[in-house]
A = this chain, B = another copy of it.
């Protein structure tokens, strides 16, 4: 058994991670940590856990994680991980940081897009393995420090990578028009995200300035081995979960839909969590909800020589807690899909 700590267990990502790891046969949840008024059983703080997982949630100051856990997941707001990770690593705890603190390697880029002042553990930037298993599985295996990808970059990278890598895309450029559910804003986003403001409305925001924009550039550049160009436009849709990423890539020369489809099938044929749909089919977020799957469908618009690649993920699973567990399985040498075998509920 491996001893595991989850910091931020009362947020959406932390709770989903607890739900997944609770059924992991090799995991003992030894530390559930969150900012709480007073220590309380998880089930009294997050009612879904009532009667199932009632371990005590304690405040960060009341526990020494390095004494308690072999692995620590940080599902925390910006700038918490950068304060905690150096000590954890120094004391031999393996870390999966699900926050954005260590995703970008370039300190200047981090500070430009996160806009919350200087990075306080800059010496560790670039030390974390970027936890997208489809791209970096070998580095994740046995890694001590993994930075879990953002939800949007996960969907976009899995959709755009194979075609960009083929060298067939003009300017190595992709437009990512992504639509997320409201849980992406977390559990404490405030009045702008109340039901009455979100229901029955849809909008774009943060064109070119979202903090996931440079992360997409970084991961896709790494994935294709040369600078990739990304225009990322996020949208908020009136649903709880899911990200649909519609990616547009101008083709250098003609490519049939069948060839494009073959390219994706070949790339992902051995992947446990990527489902390339049958030719002509496009994914729906509903078909991957509560699962670690990324569904992908492709099309070619011949008149404009443009490939359209669409991916669907659950933002809290493959886009967050599920992928963190997948990375953990690789780090610890377990079956990659341990505890991640869910089929989406119908409907």
Report A's interface with B, CB cutoff 8 A.
12, 15-16, 19, 22-23, 44, 46-53, 171, 173, 175, 177, 179, 181-183, 185, 187-191, 193-205, 207-208, 229-231, 233, 235, 237-242, 244, 246, 248, 275, 277-278, 282-287, 289-290, 293, 295, 297, 299, 301-304, 306, 308, 310, 312, 316, 341, 343-347
Q: Name 28 A/B residue pairs within 8 A (Cβ), A-sorted.
A: A12-B347, A19-B346, A23-B341, A48-B287, A48-B345, A53-B343, A177-B248, A179-B235, A182-B195, A187-B347, A188-B191, A190-B191, A193-B194, A200-B200, A200-B242, A200-B286, A201-B242, A201-B286, A201-B289, A203-B285, A203-B286, A203-B310, A207-B301, A208-B301, A231-B303, A231-B308, A233-B246, A233-B308
Nearest B residue (CB) for A288: B48
Which residues on the B side are within 8 Å of A196 (C-beta)? 12, 181-183, 185, 187, 193, 240, 347
In the bound complex, what is the Cα–Cα distance between A201 and B346 (angstroms)? 12
**Which residues of chain B are within 8 angstroms of A297 by Cβ–Cβ distance?**
204
- Each complex incorporates copies of this chain amounting to 4
Q: Given B49, B283, B345, which contacts A290 in the complex, CB threshold below 8 Å? A: B345
A183: B residues at CB distance < 8 A: 196, 347
Chain B residues within an 8 Å CB radius of A242: 200-202
